[in-house]
Amino acid sequence: MNRGKPIAYLDNAASSQKPTCVIDSLSDYYQRFNSNVHRGIYELAEDAESLYTNARKCIANYLSVENNEIIFVRGATEGLNLIANTLGRSQLKRGDVVILTEMEHHANIVPWQMICEQVGATIEVIPVLPDGSLDLEKLFNSLANGKARVLSICATSNTLGTVNPIKKITEEAHKHGIFVVVDGAQSMPHEKINLSESGCDFFVFSGHKVFGPMGIGVVFGKASILDILPPYQGGGDMIDQVSFEGTTFAPSPQRFEAGTPNVAGAIGLGRAIQYLSQLDMQEVQVHERKLLKEAQEQLHQIDGFKEYGTTANKAAVLSFTISSVHPHDVASILDAEGIAIRTGHHCCQPLMKSLGVEATARASFAFYNTPEETERFVKAVKKSVAILT
């Protein structure tokens, strides 16, 4: 419920709702298997270890990669920080360039800024065209200019819904020996991801956006690259031998998972991915995009309505403004109607600047949203326009 009305939850790009099986897997772990992993030789610890290991296997399997290529982290943000700090620290040097795009979330900007400052590298930003697609010509020119070492790019924009052609981009980047890091936070909930097909070197996502728990996420890294990277954080579990003379480190993924991990979170995420694997993601996409189209068709009739991101191939994310109406006011009226949407800069301040707005309202759909909810959303937006103009 929301404000006493049945909730129409259209803030899925921020975080998704959880299926019962995921919630149950968390309470099951805490009630029946709670113990630390990697340490105990008693049965309970072995059970916890095997649930944790199975979660990793399940995720690796879903993404078509190897188990030792899956690293558990807190979420996409920590994942991108891990990559910037390990790949960036070991592979970037003064004069190198990291390519980002104008549509990136702050999580895929700030860690690179921090590492570039440390090593003397610079950032080049690929612009977004008026329809919300990436300027691929500029991107390909930059990939070819001999300075870039890393490209870090979102698969799907959280604000525009734009789906970037990751496979094609990766192929082009690899021709020039550039590492490709993909922020998959917004693609995982909407499409079947096959990383051995996509070819990227790194891929990150957050559990809570893919129907899994908060505080858990994944970094995929190609084994051949992880093997040459230094550790991220130091501590227990990531070592081979420790002495005051020097320390040697465990192989991946342990090298990148210092300290007690979020065992329950990993198990819950494994369960969420199992749940996802039972959905037909093609059908999910058709359903979500149908909801988007229904909303678009009606909302575009409103005077002063503007949608940001209008490419044909876009995820079910609808960012909009209505002239002379503040997005927050629209969202407040929707809230009173039981409808949850997001307003603000969506952690994309550089993108907002290039769009020439401070904020947009954003509705984002998931597979469990319905045409009735979409209809209520449209009706409430129309009501907000009637009230506010």
Residues 5-64 that bind ligand PLP (CB under 6 A): none
Q: With CB under 6 A, what is the number of residues at the site for ligand PLP? A: 13
Instruction: Report the nearest approach of ligand PLP to the CB of residue 39 (Å).
Output: 28
Q: Minimum distance between the CB of residue 80 and ligand PLP, rounded to whole angstroms?
A: 7
Q: Is 172 in the site for ligand PLP (CB under 6 A)?
A: no
Q: Is 289 a binder of ligand PLP (CB under 6 A)? A: no
Near ligand PLP by CB under 6 A, which window of 26-34, 104-112, 243-251, 331-339?
A: 104-112
For ligand PLP, the binding residue among 11, 183, 307, 373 (CB under 6 A) is 183
Measured CA distances, 83 to 34, 122, 148, 150, 358 (Å): 30, 16, 16, 11, 30
Does 287 contact ligand PLP by CB under 6 A? no
Contact pattern from residue 334 through residue 363 relative to ligand PLP, giving x for each residue in contact according to CB under 6 A and a dash for the rest? -------------x----------------
User: With 0-12 CB in 10 A as exposed, 13-18 as middle and 19+ as buried, what is 94?
Assistant: exposed
Residue 150 binds ligand PLP (CB under 6 A) = no
Rounded distance between C-alpha atoms, residue 368 and residue 251, angstroms: 40
Task: Using CB atoms within 10 Å of the CB of residue 31, give its burial: 0 to 12 exposed, 13 to 18 middle, 19+ buried.
Answer: exposed
Residue 254 Cβ vs ligand PLP, minimum distance, rounded to whole Å: 22
Is 86:232 a contact under the CB 8 Å cutoff?
yes
- DSSP letter (8 states) at residue 2: B
Among 12, 16, 25, 77, the residue binding ligand PLP under the rule CB under 6 A is 77
CA distance 322 to 302: 8
Identify which of 296, 271, 309 has the alpha carbon closest to the alpha carbon of residue 59: 271
Helix 43-63 × helix 263-277 angle, to 10°: 40
Closer of 107 and 322 to ligand PLP (Cβ): 107
Which position among 107, 200, 318, 334 is part of the footprint of ligand PLP (CB under 6 A)?
107
153 is an interface residue for ligand PLP by CB under 6 A: no
Element (H or E) spanning 271, and its range?
A: helix 263-277
- What size, in residues, is the chain? 389
- Which 189-208 positions form the footprint of ligand PLP (CB under 6 A)? 206
Listed ranges 20-28, 134-142, 183-191, 232-240: which one lies at the site for ligand PLP (CB under 6 A): 183-191
Pick the binder of ligand PLP from 154, 173, 267, 341 (CB under 6 A). Answer: 154
What are the E-state strand segments in 45-86?
70-73
Q: Smallest distance from the beta carbon of 16 to ligand PLP, in angstroms?
A: 11
Buried b / exposed e along 103-138 (16+ C-beta atoms within 10 A): bbbbbbbbbbeebbeebebebbbbebeeebbbeeeb
Active site residues per annotation: 347
Q: Which residues form the interface with ligand PLP (CB under 6 A)?
A: 75-77, 105, 107-108, 154, 158, 183, 185-186, 206, 347
